[in-house]
Amino acid sequence: MRLIIIYNIKDEKKRRMTGRLLLNYGEKIKNGVFECSLNYNYYKKLGAGLNAIGANLKGEEYIRVYPLCQDCNKKIKSYGKARSAAEPLYYLA
Confidence band of 87 (pLDDT split at 50, 70, 90): low
* Helix locations, 4-85, DSSP H: 12-23, 40-54, 70-74
Q: What number of CA atoms fall less than 13 Å from residue 47's CA on the CB side?
A: 11
pLDDT tens profile 22-70: 999 999 999 999 999 999 999 999 999 999 999 999 999 999 999 998 8
- pLDDT of 78 reads 78
- pLDDT of 63 reads 98
**Does domain 2-69 match CATH 3.40.605.10?**
no
Q: Taking the complete model, does pTM exceed 0.85, yes or no?
A: no
66-85 burial, b for 16+ CB within 10 Å, e for fewer? eebeeeeeeeeeeeeeeeeb
Does position 92 have pLDDT exceeding 70, yes or no? no
- pLDDT of 53 reads 96
- pLDDT of 83 reads 64
Residue boundaries of the structural domains of the chain: 2-69
